[in-house]
């Protein structure tokens, strides 16, 4: 009887425990759903308090799309001179390359001239003479790694953390985490040159975040945003009435489809467009800038005029509260004729980037503006087609400046041939974690509930690049 009473009591205890635990878990799930609903119901672009004190207010990402060669720009490899024309030593292994067979090609040295610059003595090749004057502000991270072999997946990963489409971009995560600092301008802006970005708009998509957080692509010529200027025959009252009618129709439709964030984003985009018709023309009016400033960015010279314009516009935008600007540059995919290709794109980008750094510093803005340079991966030490280099995601360079970054240093190394990251390798997730940290966001705490899972910008990875932090 004692055993029976004991078992009965134990059974009741188990039932009580499971019942209470189940109720508790259900309450947690309900609370999470309620919190998510509360977030969705309030203004998605309202300014929010960061997790910790930020050192950067904004990001300008100079994205060298196509993959610049690190061993020809910021990571000198004298060993390539010694082994020039020889096959890759067996001890390095045979990497899986984008173009089958190139891993068996011979090693190709850089044709650049190299020199140390600044008080820090950082090495920069003669392809970047203007940027070289600012090395004491740069943290050159030479040990970056990524996962993709082709451009579409790799550009996507550098923007979203994944080689597969569908995740939010970094600019979208920043907008979600911090909200807007200027309700009359987009929070996340894309500036492109004449070369189409591989993968297109998925690189600035909001993914599974509400559509309000997606990037806004500015046009190259004329009004940067389509239909920004109203016809002369349309007055302010007529424009306001048209928007109010559109808003009423969309709200009526939204009542039938409450879970479609695109509808809310459409309503808000109309209102933003209306406000921008008064404020954006001033923000993008480069005629307000002095001729000296335009020359600083290279706007008076043919090779640098387009990218110089974009970076000057980027400075004006962050000056007015835009949090995240990506300025894409060129087609660095030099599978052949790397001398011709990189001479062109270094020439296009060198003076404008140096001008941006100088301009931000002179205005006291570099302290709280994070500037990033780099592409989706680097290039290989072995040749392709005799005078080009293949894709290299195993070890490449980006650099950061301003925004709380400790400049005048190199971080990490690649091996003596420049093929793989060797000392303190840092993955794309680590780069993203560091960007968010500088903006005051903890990448582990910045989450969004999607399909029952708390998603992060860095997925399940990411650590801070501590050496980069001032």
Q: Among 20-29, 173-182, 257-266, 268-277, which is the least confidently predicted range?
A: 20-29
Report pLDDT digits (tens) over 160-173: 999 999 999 999 99
Percent of the chain with pLDDT over 70: 81
- On whether the CB atoms of residues 92 and 355 are closer than 8 A, the answer is no
What residue segments make up the domains of the chain, in order of their start? 54-224+284-468
pLDDT at 170 (0 to 100): 98
pLDDT at 194 (0 to 100): 87
Percent of the chain with pLDDT over 90: 72
pLDDT at 43 (0 to 100): 84
**Mean per-residue pLDDT, 39-63:** 89
Report pLDDT digits (tens) over 130-155: 999 999 999 999 999 999 999 999 99
| pLDDT value at 42 more than 90 | no
At 65, the pLDDT band (50, 70, 90 cuts) reads very high
pLDDT at 101 (0 to 100): 83
Report pLDDT digits (tens) over 189-209: 999 998 999 999 999 999 999
For the entire predicted model, the pTM comes to 0.86
Q: Among 93-97, 285-289, 404-408, which is the least confidently predicted range?
A: 93-97
**Mean per-residue pLDDT, 305-313:** 97
3-state secondary structure the chain: CHHHHHHHHHHHHHHHHHHHHHHHHHHHHHHHHHHHHHHHHCCCCCCCCCCCCCCCCEEEEEECCCCCCHHHCCCCCCHHHHCCCCECCHHHCCCCCCCCCHHHCEECCCCCCEEEECCCCEEEECCCCCHHHHHHHEEEEEEEECCCCCHHHHHHHHHHCCCCCCCCCHHHHHHHHHCCCCCCCCCEEEECCCCCCCCHHHHHCCCCCCHHHCCEEECCCCCCCCCCCCCCCCCHHHHHHHHHHHHHHHHHHHHHCCCCHHHHHHHHHHHHHHHHHHHHHHHCCHHHCCHHHHHHCCCCCCCCHHHHHHHHHHHHHHHCCCCEEEEECCCCCCCCCHHHHHHHHHHHHHHHHHHHHHHHHHCCCHHHEEEEEECCCEEEEEEECCCEEEEECCCEEEEEECCCECCCEEECEECCCCCCEEECCEEHHHHHHHHHHHCCCCCCCCEEEECCEEEECCCCCCCCCHHHEC
> Under CATH, what is the fold of the domain 54-224+284-468?
Alkaline Phosphatase, subunit A (3.40.720)
Q: Among 41-45, 283-287, 435-439, which is the least confidently predicted range?
A: 41-45
pLDDT at 40 (0 to 100): 43
pLDDT at 450 (0 to 100): 96
**Mean per-residue pLDDT, 105-109:** 97
At 257, the pLDDT band (50, 70, 90 cuts) reads low
pLDDT at 98 (0 to 100): 87
pLDDT at 47 (0 to 100): 95
């Amino acid at each position: 009887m004692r055993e029976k009473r004991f078992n009965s009591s134990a059974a009741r205890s188990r039932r009580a425990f499971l019942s209470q635990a189940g109720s508790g878990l259900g309450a947690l799930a309900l609370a999470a759903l309620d919190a998510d609903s509360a977030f969705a119901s309030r203004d998605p672009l309202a300014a929010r308090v960061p997790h910790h004190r930020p050192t950067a207010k904004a990001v300008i990402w100079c994205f060298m799309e196509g993959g610049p060669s690190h061993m020809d720009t910021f990571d000198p490899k004298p060993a390539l001179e010694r082994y020039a024309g020889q096959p890759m030593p067996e001890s390095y292994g045979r990497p899986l390359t984008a173009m089958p067979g190139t891993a068996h090609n011979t090693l190709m040295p850089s044709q650049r001239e190299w020199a140390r610059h600044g008080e820090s003595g950082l090495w920069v090749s003669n392809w970047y003479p203007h940027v070289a004057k600012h090395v004491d502000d740069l943290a050159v991270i030479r040990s970056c790694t990524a996962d993709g072999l082709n451009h579409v997946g790799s550009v996507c990963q550098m923007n979203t953390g994944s080689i597969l489409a569908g995740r939010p971009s970094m600019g979208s995560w920043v907008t979600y985490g911090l909200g807007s600092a200027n309700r009359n301008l987009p929070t996340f802006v894309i500036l492109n040159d004449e070369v189409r970005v591989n993968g297109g708009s998925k690189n600035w998509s909001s993914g599974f975040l509400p559509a309000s957080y997606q990037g806004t692509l500015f046009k190259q010529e004329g009004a940067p945003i389509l239909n920004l200027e109203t016809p002369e025959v349309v007055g302010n009252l007529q424009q306001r009435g048209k928007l109010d009618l559109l808003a009423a129709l969309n709200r009526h439709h939204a009542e039938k489809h409450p879970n479609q964030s695109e509808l809310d984003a459409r309503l808000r985009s109309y209102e933003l467009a209306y406000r921008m018709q008064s404020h954006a023309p001033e923000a993008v009016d480069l005629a307000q800038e002095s001729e000296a400033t335009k020359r600083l960015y290279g706007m008076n010279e043919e090779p640098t005029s387009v990218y110089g314009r974009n970076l000057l516009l980027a400075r004006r935008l962050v000056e007015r509260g835009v949090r995240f600007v990506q300025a894409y540059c060129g087609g660095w995919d030099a599978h052949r004729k790397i001398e011709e290709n990189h001479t062109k794109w270094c020439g296009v980008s060198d003076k404008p980037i140096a001008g941006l750094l100088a301009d931000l510093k002179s205005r006291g803005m570099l302290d709280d503006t994070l500037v990033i340079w780099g592409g989706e991966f680097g290039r290989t030490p072995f040749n392709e087609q005799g005078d080009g280099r293949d894709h290299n995601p195993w070890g490449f360079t980006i650099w950061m400046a301003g925004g709380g970054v400790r400049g005048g240093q190199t971080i990490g190394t690649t091996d003596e041939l420049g093929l793989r990251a060797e000392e303190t390798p840092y993955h794309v997730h680590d780069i993203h974690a560091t960007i968010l940290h500088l903006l005051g966001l903890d990448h582990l705490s910045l989450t969004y509930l999607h399909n029952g899972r708390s998603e992060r910008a860095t997925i399940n990875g990411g650590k801070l690049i501590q050496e980069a932090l001032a």
